[in-house]
């Protein structure tokens, strides 16, 4: 069960709803697994590379917007891989929840969990789900950067942009300081919400590696570097980010090696995307 389970009410076998949302989901009849997996209202967020056992739905209840991830028949091979990499046997949906408590303690905001649940067979998971509330006034940095990052350069915009880069670097540093690695740390998964608060989403692959932690830290930073558009962020901006992230004023030989590894990984991602006809953001 999730570490956050104390904040939730169990409404039926395998279904847990946060107190704030209990009345809303009860009124909608979404208090048991069968009703939740039969729910077809809202918009099915189809994605080309989405696995067949996964489904994403956006829907509204009582004037609030929610996102639901449903997993049905996750392949046993994938389940065992999840158990191994996360060092705990849990349902697929629970991996989106487990990091939230520790991340909140270090100031890394994540989407509010409204409900989650699971059903097990004799050995493996049959199905699971997680529902999150939409981030208030939130949009991914991939879709929309703060206006001062894209507007005409002037003294005010330059100052605000530098402050934003420092906040983003601090956000990622605090995340990595927990030992977690995201494995999908593109700008698409970092949201900017109300009062310019940063949020980290899609945590289902987030884990704490026992081995190769540095390798996965390189991967995270490379993904962030790769997805940051070159037309809005210069090499100087990127170096400013790294120095703040690393807490240094001058690069050491170790830092230079790390940056070379990040550049190599980003180039590898770029070659893959070019091969498949996709745009390369950091070269744009």
Residues 116 and 236 in one domain: no
Can you give the residue range of the structural domain that contains 254?
A: 139-283
H-run or E-run covering 152: none
Round the average pLDDT of the chain to a whole number and report it.
93
Q: How far apart are CA 56 and CA 58, in angstroms?
A: 7
The residue out of 66, 99, 133 marking a domain boundary is 133
Residue 251 backbone dihedrals phi, psi, to 5 degrees = -75, 135
Based on the fold, state whether residues 161 and 108 are members of the same structural domain.
Answer: no
The total domain count for the chain is 2
Residue 173 sits in the same domain as residue 257? yes
Q: Which residue has the tokens 């509204």?
A: 60
Same domain? 118 vs 163: no
Q: Both 157 and 89 in a single domain? A: no
Q: How confident is the model at residue 51 (pLDDT cuts 50, 70, 90)?
A: confident
Q: Are residues 89 and 124 in the same domain?
A: yes
Question: What is d(CA 176, CA 126) in angstroms, rounded to the nearest whole number?
Answer: 32
Per-residue pLDDT at 168: 98
Select from 133, 166, 200 the last residue of a domain: 133
Residue 215's pLDDT band (boundaries 50, 70, 90)? very high
If asked whether residues 185 and 62 sit together in one domain, one would say no
Across 186-206, average pLDDT: 96
- Residues 275 and 194 occupy one common structural domain: yes
pTM for this entry: 0.93
CB neighbours (10 Å) of residue 283?
14
Q: How confident is the model at residue 48 (pLDDT cuts 50, 70, 90)?
A: low
Q: Kindly state whether residues 126 and 227 are assigned to the same domain.
A: no
Which of 86, 104, 133 corresponds to the end of one domain?
Answer: 133
Q: Examine the domain organization and report whether 117 and 143 are in the same domain.
A: no
- Of 134, 159, 135, nearest to 146 by C-alpha is 159
pLDDT tens digits, one per residue of 100-145: 999 999 999 999 999 999 999 989 999 999 999 999 999 999 999 9
Judge if 163 and 113 occupy the same domain.
Answer: no
* CB count in 10 Å sphere of residue 221: 22
How confident is the model at residue 1, as a pLDDT? 42
Phi-psi region of 146 (alpha: psi -120 to 50; beta: other; left: phi over 0): beta
CATH label of the domain that carries residue 88: 3.30.200
CATH of the domain at 175: 1.10.510.10
One domain, residues 232 and 188: yes
């Amino acid at each position: 069960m999730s570490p956050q389970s104390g904040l939730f009410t169990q409404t039926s076998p395998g279904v847990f709803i946060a107190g704030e949302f209990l009345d809303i989901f009860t009124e909608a009849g979404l208090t048991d697994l069968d009703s939740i997996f039969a729910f077809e209202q809202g918009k099915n967020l189809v994605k080309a590379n989405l696995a067949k056992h996964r489904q994403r739905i956006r829907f509204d209840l009582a004037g609030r917007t929610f996102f639901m991830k449903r997993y049905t028949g996750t392949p046993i091979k994938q389940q065992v891989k999840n158990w191994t990499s996360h060092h705990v046997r849990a349902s697929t949906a629970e991996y989106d929840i487990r990091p939230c408590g520790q991340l909140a303690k270090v100031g890394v905001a994540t989407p509010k969990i409204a409900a989650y649940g699971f059903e097990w067979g004799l050995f493996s998971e049959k199905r699971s789900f997680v529902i999150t509330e939409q981030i208030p006034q939130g949009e991914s940095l991939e879709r929309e950067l703060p206006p001062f990052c894209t507007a005409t350069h002037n003294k005010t915009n330059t100052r605000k942009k530098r402050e934003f880069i420092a906040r983003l670097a601090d956000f990622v540093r605090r995340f990595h300081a927990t030992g977690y690695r995201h494995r999908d740390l593109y700008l698409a998964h970092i949201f900017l919400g109300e009062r310019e608060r940063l949020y980290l989403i899609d945590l289902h692959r987030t884990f704490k590696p026992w081995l190769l932690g540095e390798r996965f830290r390189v991967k995270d930073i490379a993904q962030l570097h790769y997805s940051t558009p070159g037309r809005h962020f210069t090499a100087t901006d990127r170096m400013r980010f790294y120095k703040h992230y690393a807490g240094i004023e001058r690069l050491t030989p170790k830092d230079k090696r790390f940056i070379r590894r990040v550049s190599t990984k980003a180039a590898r991602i770029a070659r893959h995307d070019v091969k498949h006809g996709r745009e390369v953001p950091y070269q744009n």
